[in-house]
Each structure stands twice: as structure tokens, then as C-alpha cells.
A and B are shown apart, each in its own frame.
Chain A
């Protein structure tokens, strides 16, 4: 009688992210800080899926406390500090903006293991991770290159951050690789962290310019995806499979999976072998994949995309291998070489065929 009850209770607590005395004191305590409310798709949803994977993998060996909607800025420090002072063993920080405060926290609590998404600074007990989103973007771009009839692609992106620029470049290179007739790709920068109405209007604007595949790049909302279904154009999207929001028009999604990275870091910390390194995982580590491919793509097209995915997995292909020219006509990557990880993470050029500019 006792065992099932305990299992149910533990599962309930884990699913609620509750820190509770009911969980054995010797459990490894992990705090998760997520920047926004958790929806059905997108960044925070994927972080939360990673948390669930950790909970499932380690069972009652870990106790998890999760807090969402902890934005960037001076207030997030307080939440981190509070968690640390309550004796949490490990903290996952979910936003680039948590970097500086997280580093200070790690310095102050040398026994605490901190894992931060998206940053570039490490310390002995402060590790970072990121996924090679651009690898999946190349594949989604291939799908877009195949599917477009007007040879015009549109991209909606939040802000010109280096990771965003890298994803956009890989996407366009992927599309160009299968479609030599591609026109210049049209881009709208939202310049807003979050605005569903503007997101949808951006999709409409791109379509009014002739775009028939709309790429929603870190939009923070599925509005543009849903709008594409309504407008009758194909849509591609980052982070999560958005098929549910565009049942007939969802062309391809770049699906990320933070689970493997998070589980590995938790295991390290539990074993007392935590390393403050950077993890940059992609298709090869099952952290990125192409998902939700439309049935409108032909079998040959699908298998070409999946074959390219295998080629990336095996290391036989890199989306940023030269020659690559930037959109000002300058050589960005020489023939025969490829960008190293530092250059990928700090991407500050747009490839030829993208009709927008970056602040400099």
C-alpha cells in the first residue's frame, strides 16, 4: 500500500515543481529558473521539458524546485540567492540575461553547481550550454527552398542577436542549396521581446510582399505560425514542433531537446565531478533535430533533408563551410574552411541573399 502512494505523491510534487519536506532530505536538490511563463511550445516550454527529463531520469534521487517568469535584470538575482541560501545543490538558469548575476552567485557559493543557458563566460562551478540550432535551421531552410513557389522567403526575428543571425544564415544557405532561383530573403525585426499582434502582422506583411514560406525565428509566441495557416502559406519555426498551430501549413520545425545536456550536467554534479565548461550540442548529440516535416514535401525531398541531417551528425557536413559570401559581397568564409564554434557563436554577418542589415 505504501509504495504506490509514495510514488504518486512524489510524482505529483515533481510535476508541480514543489520543494517539499516530504521528499527525502538526502535527495539532490535542483532549482530551475525559467524567464517566462511556460506555454505549449517555445523556449520556456523546452526548458521545462528538459526539467521533466531530469525528473524522470533520476526519479526520487532528486528534488526539483522550478520557478517561471523570472525576467532579466536586478530582480532575478534575488530569486537565485534565495534558492542558494535554502541549500539547493544545483541551479539551472534559463536566460542569457541571468549570466552576470549567476556568475556572482557561483563565486559566492563555491559548492553550488550553476548551469546557464546561452552565455559565454564560465567559472569552476559555472557551466554553460547552447544547442547548435543552426544545424536544424539549415535543414528547415532546405524544406523552405523546396516548398516555395514564389521563390520568396520571409523571416520574422525578435532582435539581431548573434545566435539569431547564425540561425537565419544557416536557414538561407539551406534554402539556396536546393533552390538556385531563390530571390532575396525578406526579414522583419520585431524589436520587441514579446508582442503577439505585431508577430502576426509581420507574417501578413511578408506575405503581402510575395513570401510564401514564413520562418518564425524565436518569436516568443505561435501567432505568426497560426497566421500562416490562415493566410495559406507554409511556415517554419525554431525550438518546438508547432504542427498543432498550423496543421496543414507546418513545413518544418527545428526541434531542440535540452534533456540530454541537463541530465549529463546533473549526473556530473551528483558524482562530485561537475565541470564549469561549455556544452555546445547539436544533431550529433540528439539535442537538435528537424521535426514536423510537411506531407506536402515529396519523398525525395524528405529523404534529402534527412540524409543531410545524417551527414551533419556524422561530421561530414557543416552548414558554415566555405565559400560563403556576406550580403555586402565580401568573402565571409573562405573555400575549404569552415567557421569555428567561436565564430558561429559570435556571428556578425549576414549571408548573400538576405535583404536586411545589422547594427554595427
Chain B
């Protein structure tokens, strides 16, 4: 293959600064070109569709708040996962950790549905974090004790978490006055994050502060702390890590616990935020979308913030596109797929440069 490609890819000494602009620009240009073909083929107006995806999400305070509602869980999960991914610990189970975190946190308002205590929300947050970590630690246990791949264990635990949620919400935790419908009692106000900016329809809430704090902490951890460095080494070169006295087991435990904590927090954020109760469907796949956000952000805490916001714009724009441009409901998924593929392709430019083959030879001589 190598000889078939008429150019050569040469690593850069430093990540390119121009690429920070160039990569998104190329992604957007390529996506627009592809979308014109796609939307025209579907008989919709490409201009209208693209307007819906990229401009309409910023057209009202409501939409902007919705971007934050969507971005916050994506960023939080991605920050948690990225720490593990840097250490090559593949936690695919954020979805399950989110569910278990939400279930545990919900026990408090379900037990005291009339309470007005200010301690309620903090207690829920604590429960959610601990439960998310506990669920993730099953995978850490099986990985460190029995060497069982965390990819599979976390994937299987997602399925089990869903069944647990469904059992509880159709049985023990269901609202006794809810005609046996599968949902819990609505949570009291004390169990909900206060919303921001006022306004009846604004759903953005204080959980955003947690996401911002977590992103800052992730940045500090990765760039400043010794432990962050150790995780990186443990991932890249287990042998070197062992030589330096770092334990691979510790890396696995830390990675999964941090990922589980973040996912558990997101679970609390959903039930104590937009949802306001326990119900069979808690997450529109945040656990999986978070993986993509982590990679789109280059596993870098700052990059993840931007990637999360970008993905949120696309999600909010998808809903607009369905209404404004009259496209089939599956078209936005294809659109998202295009963006991701083009972004990944263009990202090459961050760490590499492309030179013609001839240029390389003369460059080598110089």
C-alpha cells in the first residue's frame, strides 16, 4: 500500500498550531460538499439543511441552552474516559455506569419524595459517583484479578445494567400512584439541579458547573500531576512503567474508577436535571457518544470541551433539520457519520505533515 500512495507522511516535531484551524475547516468543507450530494439526492434543500445544522442551533436562547444541556454530559463522560484511554484502558461501559449511578442516586428522592433538605442533591451526587465507580470496579476486578478484557466486561455490564434498571422501574421503584407505569415518583425540587438563566423553558442547569470543574481538574491532572504522567507511561509502555515502579494494576483501577465516577455523575445529572425521575430510558447513548467525543478531542481535556460542544451543536441541529428541511429521520445520523469520518481523516495534519515523495528526498538531503 505504502508504495501506492503518491505522498509521504512525516511526523511533526510539535503538534501543528495551524492545524487547529485547518482541521475543522477541512472537515466542514468536506462535510458540506458531501451533504450537498446527500440532501439533494433526498430531494431536500441542502442550503436549508446546512442552515439547520450549523446556524439554527444558535438562533435562540433556548437552543443555546439545549446545546449546553447536551454538551455537558458528553464532555463529562469523555473527560472521565479519556483518562483511561490515555492509559489504554478501554472502558466501553460508561452507559451502564451512568445507569447504575442514576439508579442509586434516585433511591434518595424516591425514599423521601417530600423532602426539602438542601442535603438531598449533594447526597444524590455522592451516591451516583460511588455507584458508578462500584459498577466500573467490577470490570477492574475482573481485569486485574482474572485478566478478563475490560472491553468485553464493560460491554456486558451495560446489558446487565439495563435489565436491572428495567426490573426496578417496573417493580420496586415504580410510582405507587402512577397506575403501574414504569417510572418512579417525580423528584422534589430539592432533588433537582437549579436551572440557570431563569426562563421557563431553559433546561441548562448547575450540573454544568460540575462539568466545567471536572474539565479543569482533568486538565490539571493530565498536565501537572505526576499520577497523570504515570498513567500515560503505564499505557504507552507497560514494561517501562514497571521498571519505573508504576503498577499497571493501579492504572487499570484508577482509569475505571475515574470513568465510572464521571459516568455516575452524568447519570445523576440526567435524573436530577432534564428528566426529574427514574424512567426506563435515561440516556440517548451518552456512554457511546462520549467515546467519540473523547477521541474527537484528541484525548485532551481542552480538546474534549470543544469536541463536546461541537457534537452538541450537531445533535441540536439534527432536530432542527428534521423540522426545517424535511429530511428522513435517519439522515442526520449519516450526516454525523460523515463529519466524524472527515474529522478523523483531517486530524492527520495535527501530528503529521504531508510531503510529495520527491520533496522528501531533497528534504532529507538538506
Interface residues of A (CB under 8 A from B): 16-19, 37, 65, 67-75, 77-79, 81-83, 85-86, 96-97, 100, 107-108, 119-120, 159-162, 191, 342, 345-348, 358-360
Contact = CB atoms under 8 A, between A and B. Distances in A.
Contacts of B283: 73
A121 B305 CA distance: 39
Given A18-B326, A161-B180, 15 more contacts: A67-B323, A72-B280, A73-B275, A77-B274, A78-B319, A82-B323, A86-B323, A97-B279, A100-B276, A159-B182, A161-B170, A162-B179, A345-B179, A346-B179, A359-B167
B55 to A, nearest CB: 14
Contact of B181 (A17, A96, A107): A96
B344 interface: no
Contacts of A348: 180
B181 A81 contact: no
Contacts of A119: 181
Contacts of B170: 159-161, 359
A162 B181 contact: yes
B180 A77 contact: no
29 contacts: A16-B326, A18-B326, A19-B326, A67-B323, A69-B330, A71-B281, A72-B279, A73-B281, A73-B283, A74-B69, A74-B203, A75-B284, A82-B320, A82-B323, A83-B323, A100-B275, A100-B277, A107-B200, A108-B200, A119-B181, A159-B182, A159-B280, A160-B170, A161-B182, A162-B179, A162-B181, A342-B179, A345-B179, A346-B179
Nearest to A343: B179
B137 to A, nearest CB: 26
A341 B279 CA distance: 24
B284 A74 contact: yes
A345 B178 CA distance: 10
A272 B166 CA distance: 41
Interface of B: 60, 62, 66, 69, 163, 166-167, 170-172, 178-182, 186, 200-201, 203, 270, 274-277, 279-284, 315-316, 319-320, 322-323, 326, 329-330
B203 A69 contact: no
B180 A78 contact: no
A32 to B, nearest CB: 12
Contacts of A75: 284, 315, 319
Contacts of A96: 181
The 4 closest A-B pairs by CB, nearest first: A359-B171, A69-B329, A346-B179, A74-B274
A346 B180 contact: yes
Given A74-B69, A82-B320, A85-B62, A68 B203 contact: no
B329 A97 contact: no
A156 B326 CA distance: 36
A161 B179 CA distance: 10
B329 A68 contact: yes
Contacts of B171: 358-360
A79 B323 contact: yes
A162 B319 contact: no
Nearest to A84: B201
A360 B182 CA distance: 11
A17 B327 CA distance: 11
A78 B179 contact: no
Nearest to B178: A120
Contacts of B277: 100
A182 B274 CA distance: 48
Nearest to B199: A108
Contacts of B320: 82
A160 B69 CA distance: 32
Nearest to A121: B178
Contacts of B316: 78
Contact of B275 (A74, A358, A359): A74
A358 B174 CA distance: 13
Nearest to B169: A359
Contacts of A358: 171
Nearest to A67: B322
Max chain B C-beta neighbours (<10 A), residue from A18, A79, A83: A79
A196 B167 CA distance: 22
Given A68-B329, A74-B270, A359-B171, A162 B323 contact: no
B56 to A, nearest CB: 9
B108 to A, nearest CB: 20
Contacts of B284: 71, 73-75
A81 B179 contact: no
Contacts of A107: 200
A153 to B, nearest CB: 23
A81 B201 contact: yes
Contacts of B60: 85
Given A100-B276, A159-B182, A161-B182, A73 B282 contact: yes
Contacts of A86: 323
B20 to A, nearest CB: 30
Nearest to A75: B284
A122 to B, nearest CB: 13
Nearest to A346: B179
B247 to A, nearest CB: 40
A119 to B, nearest CB: 8
A107 B282 CA distance: 23
Contacts of A68: 329
B163 A191 contact: yes
Given A342-B179, A347-B180, A79 B322 contact: yes
Nearest to A165: B180
A86 B326 CA distance: 14
A74 B69 CA distance: 9
Contact of A67 (B163, B178, B201, B329): B329
A263 B58 CA distance: 36
B62 A159 contact: no
A16 B181 CA distance: 34
Contacts of A85: 60, 62
Nearest to B180: A162
Nearest to A77: B274
A97 B276 CA distance: 13
B281 A97 contact: yes
Nearest to B59: A85
Contacts of A72: 279-281
Contacts of B181: 96, 119-120, 161-162
